[in-house]
A and B are shown apart, each in its own frame.
Chain A
Amino acid sequence: MSTRLAKGGAYLNRQKQVRFSFNGKQFTGYEGDTLASALLANDQVMMGRSFKYHRPRGVVASGAEEPNALVNLGQGGKFEPNQRATTTEVFDGLACTSQNHWPSLEFDIGVVNNYAARFLPAGFYYKTFMAPRAAWKHVFEPIVRQSAGLGKVPRDRDADRYEHFYAFYDVVVIGGGSAGLQAALAAGSAGAKVLAMEQTAHLGGRARIDGGEIDGMPVEAWVAGAAEKLAAMPNVTLRRRMMGAGVYDHGYVLGYERVTDHAPETAGPRHRLWRIRAKQIVTATGAIERPLSFAGNDVPGVMLAGAVRDYVTGWGVSPGDRTVVVTNNDDAYRTAIALKGAGLDVPVILDARGAGGGALAEEARALGIRIENGKGIAKVRGGKRVTGVAICTQAGEGSVLEEIACDAVAMSGGWSPVVHLWSHCGGKLIWDEAQAHFRPDPARAPTSHDGKPFVIPAGSANGPLDLAGVIADAHAAGLAAARAVGCAPLDCPLPEVAPQPEAALEPVWLMPQGAGPKLRMKAWLDYQNDVKVSDVRLAAQEGYESVEHTKRYTTLGMATDQGKLSNINGLATLAGQLNAPIPAVGTTTFRPPYTPISFGAIAGEARDAVFQPLRRTPIHDWHEAQGAFFEPVGHWRRPYCFPREGESHAAAVKREILQTRNSVGLLDASTLGKIIVKGPDAGRFMDMLYTNMMSTLKPGKCRYGLMCSENGFLIDDGVVARIDEETFLCHTTTGGAERIHGWMEDWLQCEWWDWNVYTANVTEQFAQIAIVGPNARKVLQKLGGMDVGKEALAFMEWKDGRLGEFDARAYRISFSGELSYEIAVPASQGRAFWDALLTAGEEYGIAPYGTEALHVMRAEKGFIMIGDETDGTVIPQDLGLNWAISKKKEDFLGKRAQERRHMSDPDRWKLVGLDTLDGSVIPDGAYAIAAGENANGQRNTQGRVTSTYYSPTLDRGIAMGLVHRGPERMGEVIEFNKVDGGTVMARIVDPVFFDKDGEKQNV
């Protein structure tokens, strides 16, 4: 039985009871309980099942390192899987369920895997699912998916709110144990601006549980005093329930604050992600106890010795009436003493060391506890709960000397410093032979922008495990951090702590050391991913000698706990099998976050309307009011079409096109990029930027131009207007304005910085509206003002003037093949001008059209679209645009690349029109198939579709595509794949489908 003790529990508020449910059962706990301590207090030792074998599992640890006790927490929009019971504070109304079982925790079908375990060794999945290929899809995958474990996927939208904080500190202290507090005191007293954070709700860490005296007072009192002193320092911020999640380049730290997880009804965000810049970081992150590898070390009731002590002393919980302690070090004796002090029975302490323990062992012996030196556990008895242990000699192979009945086992294999945050940004480790752990190598710290170390490990995170050593180390770390940020350390004395000498630890990587295969198969290393000693040995035998390979082959340390318990034991097992020293095997890479953080915290406020900026044209609100169907183009939303009541999108597009082709339509073209290029050298610069000759363009004229990258590939196109001798206005694609402006600046700043040219992106300064169709001129003439007649404003000309009440710049350009004007007015007048056009055009049935109509009409005319006809591998020559490439210019961006051999290869795929024999629309992106197969057994291809639409003007499908030697093959019929598996035949034709001679636009 595990139960609540009548007395004790430093973390508890026994005045306040809380009710919660686990798998539908109602339980009670106290304020201050974690879910794990509250479940133990209610004799719910079994908390879940393991991932692979579905073995019954209980809580093994008491903090962030817990691998077993994971639950589905909450309901609906507050549901979250894989929450550690040990770090979840209970509150009134908490509801959770256990994971990895079906149909119930007590009776689980998947446990059959456990009995088949000998057939499911390391690499089983890799080996089994390789062949036959078809079996994966039809047999293995459905089974694996059904039984794949861990928590359920949330179904509802996250109902909580999250936020980001940006913060800047001299010194960030991570960890609020005795070391963190002392480091913060030292740095704070020196005047540094300090942020100290503690991941749990309690300050003081292990020291509060383990006891002792600091400065002549009990640890409990010293911790309270330290917290008070820190609170009184205006330069120090101390936060609880905040974890140092990661340390990154140049002192960037992520702090993960769980603001209301423990009290969901309070106001405020659930989590807060602190994005911190620190000059110095002190990692006072403590140490994690290692399990011992003996058979049955995963049976519910087997726990870490430190965790047992936490539950007894911190939460007033008895993990069992009779607890066997098994250890290779002195620290676990504290657990035996604590149990005894709580009135519980410790039938025996099994000390694997032949010589046994030191002063603490004497203390335990004085309490009347039986101690067996040189002994270990051969096997734990029990299935869903520990019922006893079989004792053996550690030096032997596991012959049972004695059976001892017990209902809990407290194990300790020594302590490993939490080096994660030290390692995140490149801090290296050294192997400490005496403590049998990796600790930070002070000579190889992470370095910052100035080449100097910026992380200082403190306390047991740096190696020392005794209170005196921890306090002294943390004190030095705090002062060093203050000094590094330029603070002169003030008078902050080192607290006095009496040394508590301990006997040396003796590494134990397998218990008993000669355990045979049967025992090794039940000796767990990684509880969460079900990796055993036998699996790591098998991996080594099969040649996975690198620790990174072994990890991936066995999945050791790859679960949500990232191997916090299993890492060192796994490495040592691998090293043993390879007969190599442990430091030669090395560690796997520690990556942030330290423990999983919520996606909500990462996203912060960036969701829904504020997910990303939304750019709106001056006419956007009108589009919205009309019920336009929008499509995203960059950060803009552009109307795709303007469907009327009961009208489908396809019908709306058709109507918009026919209205425009037959009378007049309006397009909001404000999103088109508009960049001014100005200066004495502007013409010279434009000639480099565009493939065409731009310097010869006369003021008042427009010219269509192409821009290429230095690779020769087409990157943007648009109409250039020459404003005056020194000034050009370049139109770019909607998505390209910022990119092209940056491109121009790049060349001006970094290559031709002696040229006198200035650029400005004026895209948002103007509203630009296209008036398109046979009646376009009549509409403008109704407004009155400047002469827009055929001679006064010829095709490819522009002029400034007044149109009605508006200052306007009129460009006579066309992307539809119709008589067309694009009118730019100041952005502030855009909406009024749009309204004026609608009124003036009323008698012609004027109507707006969207981007789809725009696309169809340009395709009918064979005009290319950047991103459809181009994909970063297409040169202008592929698109039949040789007329836009100057032969006179010595140089332009992309010219040298276009001289490369494969760029002039006649075998390139080139642009043609595609006319389906049956008039249907070819699927977008369809490939033209050719005879034969390639080396991979795939059908050869000879071209692909780049644009394909139903043309309302021609009432049939039209398409453009890039086809092998296309222009030489006019009239030939080729075959295109369809999505449904069939094919469609299409004739190669000229890409201009409509009004080839341009009669409609030249009126």
Chain B
Amino acid sequence: MLILECPYCGVTAEETELHAEGEAHLKRFGPGSDDAAFEGYLFMRENPKGVHFERWRHSNGCGKFFHAARCTMTLQVFGTYPAQTLEPPQDIRDRISAVYPGWRWRDFA
């Protein structure tokens, strides 16, 4: 059972207090987008053994959605950060690079 820190209220919460909300940093494609882009947005997901970016919600707490960067293999958490962003913050990327030099996840590195 994971422990993650909610970046809004600062609480270090157990998984039972949180709700997993799928992959982070999805770009929405709406009406007018081509089929391939829409399929990517709706269906295509990463399934890495290693670095991953996820959405979580502090559902039994402050109710805020946030992002977590963690390793699915070692369970190391590189950090959590607010959802109001289009990409992971640099300090978290640096922390990942320190462990996994040259890592890539979708368009991020």
Binding site for B on A (CB under 8 A): 248-252, 277, 425-426, 447-451, 710-711, 742, 745-746, 749-751, 753, 890-891, 895-897, 899-900
Contacts and interface: CB of A to CB of B under 8 A. Distances in A.
Contacts, number: 71
Contacts of B21: 746
A278 to B, nearest CB: 12
A275 to B, nearest CB: 9
A710 B42 contact: yes
B65 A250 contact: no
A749 B83 contact: yes
Contacts of A251: 3
Nearest to A899: B31
Given A250-B1, A750-B83, A745 B75 contact: no
Sort A-B residue pairs by CB-CB distance and give the 3 closest, nearest first: A451-B76, A447-B74, A753-B84
15 contacts: A248-B1, A252-B14, A277-B3, A426-B75, A450-B76, A451-B99, A745-B65, A749-B84, A750-B55, A750-B83, A751-B28, A891-B31, A895-B31, A896-B30, A896-B33
A277 B2 CA distance: 11
Contacts of B57: 742, 746
Interface string B53-74: 0010101000111000001001
Contacts of A711: 42
Interface string B1-19: 1110000000000110000
Interface of B: 1-3, 14-15, 21, 28-33, 35, 38, 41-42, 55, 57, 59, 63-65, 71, 74-77, 83-84, 99
Contacts of B32: 896
Contact of B59 (A249, A277, A742): A742
Contacts of B41: 710
A448 B63 contact: no
Given A248-B1, A711-B42, A896-B29, 13 more contacts: A250-B1, A277-B3, A447-B76, A449-B75, A449-B76, A449-B77, A710-B41, A749-B64, A751-B28, A895-B30, A896-B30, A896-B32, A896-B38
A753 B76 contact: no
Nearest to B77: A449
Contacts of A248: 1
B63 A745 contact: yes
Nearest to B15: A249
A449 B74 CA distance: 8
A451 B74 contact: yes
Contacts of A448: 75-76
Contact of A746 (B33, B38, B42, B65): B65
Contacts of A250: 1-3, 75
Contacts of A896: 29-33, 38
Contacts of A753: 83-84
B59 A447 contact: no
A902 to B, nearest CB: 12
Contacts of B63: 745
A251 to B, nearest CB: 8
Contacts of B55: 750
Contacts of A897: 38, 42
A251 B75 CA distance: 11
B21 to A, nearest CB: 7
A928 to B, nearest CB: 31
B95 to A, nearest CB: 9
Nearest to B75: A249
A890 B33 CA distance: 12
A29 to B, nearest CB: 41
Nearest to B64: A749
A249 B29 contact: no
A891 B30 contact: yes
A889 to B, nearest CB: 9
A897 B41 CA distance: 11
A358 B75 CA distance: 46
B1 to A, nearest CB: 5
Contacts of A750: 55, 65, 83-84
A677 B39 CA distance: 31
